[in-house]
Structure 1
Amino acid sequence: MTLIDTQSDSYIAEISDKLLEARKTSTGLPDFPGELPTTLETAYKIQDRSISKIDDKIVGWKIGGITPDLQEKLNAVRLCGPIFEKMVKYTDGSERLLMPVFKDGYSAYEVEYVMELGDTSHLPATGITEEQIRSVIKRVFIGFEMASSPIQDVNNVGSMAVICDFGINEGCIIGPEVKDWKNVDLFDVDVSITIDGKLFGPVKPNSGFVGAYGAVKFLIEHMKAQGKELPEGTMASTGAITGVHDENVGVGSKAEVTFAGLGGFSMELVSNG
């Protein structure tokens, strides 16, 4: 048996190329296209290489969770992936949005707060406080992340696969702005999604570092650990509020999102191929 060096540049390039080709051609993959990386460092190197091959600007980052079975081993609870400019849709909720997904891959609905960040360069590399997080959040929107990947059953393949494939982001909805958000209790809002007539929620968002503020803290510290700073205006899609809804989700599925008292929007899934 030939052992594969999952730290090598050739391995990183090979996995990146296979994932990019599957995305470019909208080809479903029955499994991860090779050996899974064994470290977070390598998984993010694959992501970074793929980012370098995309002719689009990163305007934000999705933050998701690492599965509990890997958190202790990896010493991490969150992960991130890029949101590209061409994949962002803005809405005031007045009309249904068409959200492209991989018809032969994996798709999931994720309802989230999207937070616009200001200058984070002055913040420390670790130990950022909640007060510091609130000070660099410029605007808050109700929103949504369209999770989709050519890798079928990617969540069961695992968090390493998710990181490699752009955090499986395939789009972001930025909905109505939460006006005067610092005087709104963001975590006492009833949030729900109705998928093909089935209601999920209402639930209230997790507060503090368990929820959106923790997601922003992770993103800033993660970037600083790599010697990077987030540009002002970066959007942070801060994690699923009602859960990750992937059961029977595919082309033709319709959903309506509601943040009670703040607004809502609707969408329909279409093929990106």
Structure 2
Amino acid sequence: MSEPSAVTAIALAFANARAEARALSGFPGTVPESFEAAYAVQKAAMGVHPANLRGWKVAMVRPDWRAAFPEERLIGPVYHVIDVPDGGTATMPSITGGYTAAEAEFVAVMAQDLPPREKPYEVAEVAAAISAIHVGAEIAGSPLVNLNDLGPGSIISDFGCNAGVVLGPEVVGWQSRPWESLTAKSTVNGAAVGEGTAAGVPGTPLAAVAFLANRLSRLGITLRAGDLVSTGMVTGIHKVAAGDRAVIDFGDCGQFTIDFATAKPVD
């Protein structure tokens, strides 16, 4: 994994498969065995992505992988964002033969840049740099159906296993609301699949944003004003495919529907 050619080959394989809406039969090379190696692939993949970066996703590293990958979270870039009003519907792609999942999440919007620096960002400092919190959903997605089973090195390499973010209504007065009062319930094709609250995100969603700011700082990347941060699932990871419909109800903060359609190649 130390050779630039190997890094580039993996990055191009994932980037091209996504652009062509084409499933992969296996990981395209050797799965990175460290954060350093995996984020090198992610950086290379971002370098060939044609769209403008809209923000980032943050997800937990499974406990059984933390001996090899000793951080509690991982990150990935977000390029595809759909804004939906209360009661609205978003359509999101699913690569046939790949992996797709819907995850109810709370999404932060940054008000100011947090550039790389030596001193770690504290949660209170990061909270002051957020302009809004919205209800939303991360659409996890990859051309590789077993991407998650191969661990953080695999997930990070393929854009953090992100296919997009649904940005729902803003949470009014979020600074003064208890996190446990921000609830979510998810259904897929009419069947209840999970429920939870923002308090279920370890350390609260603000801890996820702080982790992101510090991980980006170590990578030499600025968390920019206007960036969206999808902070981690609150009702579970719900696998879906083209033709499925997910509805996420955030109680007094609104609800929205996500319809999944067969992903098409990028023109």
Give your verdict on TM over 0.5.
yes
Report the Cα distance in structure 2 between the residues aligned to 1:14 and 1:115, rounded to whole angstroms. Answer: 33
> Shift of the alpha carbon at 1:133?
2.5
Offset, 1:190: 2.3
Relative to the length of structure 1, the TM-score reads 0.91
Superposition pairs of residues 52-91 of structure 1, within 5 angstroms: 52-84=47-79, 87-91=80-84
Structure 1 residues 89-100: aligned runs within 5 Å: 89-100=82-93
Aligned pairs, number: 264
Q: CA deviation at 1:20?
A: 1.5
Q: Deviations over 1:127-181 (max 9, x none)?
A: 4333222211111100001111000121112221110000111111100011222
Residues 255 and 82 of structure 1, relative CA distance in 2, 3 Å threshold? same
Letter of the aligned partner of 2:90 in structure 1?
Answer: L
Q: Deviation per CA, 1:182-208, whole angstroms, max 9, x where unpaired?
A: 122233222110111111333222367
Aligned-partner Cα distance in 2 for 1:132–1:207:
22
Change (3 A) 1:203 1:229: same
Query: The residue matched to 2:45 in structure 1 has which SS?
Result: helix
Query: Equivalent residue for 1:142?
Result: 135
Pairing 1:8-23 to 2, within 5 Å after superposition = 8-23=3-18
Q: Point out 4+ residue stretches in structure 1 off by more than 4 angstroms.
A: 122-127
Structure 1 residue 34, shift from structure 2 partner: 1.4
Q: Which of 234, 240, 244 does residue 241 from structure 1 map onto?
A: 234
The alpha carbon displacement at 1:215 in A equals 0.8
Residue 24 (structure 1) shift: 1.7
**What is the RMSD computed on CA atoms of the aligned residues?**
1.8
Alignment-mate amino acid for residue 78 of structure 2 = I
| Alpha-carbon distance change, 207 to 267 in structure 1, aligned in 2, over 3 angstroms | closer
**3-state SS of paired residue (2:54):** strand
| 8 Å contact kept, 1:125–1:221 | no
Scaled by the length of structure 2, what TM-score is found?
A: 0.93
1:208 and 1:65 map into 2 onto residues whose CA distance is 9
Alpha-carbon distance in structure 2 between the residues aligned to 1:195 and 1:109 = 9
Superposed displacement of residue 227, structure 1: 2.1
2:27 alignment partner in structure 1: 32
Equivalent of residue 268 in structure 1, options 259, 262, 265: 259
1:190 and 2:183 correspond: yes
Structure 1 counterpart of 2:246: 255
Cα distance in 2 between the residues matched to 1:168 and 1:15: 14
How is 1:189-228 mapped onto 2 (pairs within 5 angstroms)?
A: 189-206=182-199, 210-228=203-221
- Output the amino acid matched with 1:75: P
Once the two structures are superposed, residues 58-84 of structure 1 have per-residue CA deviations (whole angstroms, 9 ceiling, x without a partner) of 110011111212213222111111111
Question: What corresponds to 1:3 in structure 2?
Answer: none
AA in 2 matched with 1:222? R
Structure-2 change in CA distance of 1:19 and 1:146 (3 Å): same
Q: Is the 8 A contact 2:107 2:135 kept in 1?
A: yes
SS at match of 1:55: coil
Q: Which moved more, 1:235-244 or 1:179-188?
A: 179-188
Question: Equivalences for 1:93-108 in 2 at 5 Å?
Answer: 93-108=86-101
CA drift of 1:125 comes to: 4.2
Q: 1:197 to 1:207 in 2, by over 3 A?
A: closer
- Are the aligned partners of 1:211 and 1:239 in contact in 2 as well (CA < 8 Å)? no
Maintained 8 Å contact 2:241/2:260: yes
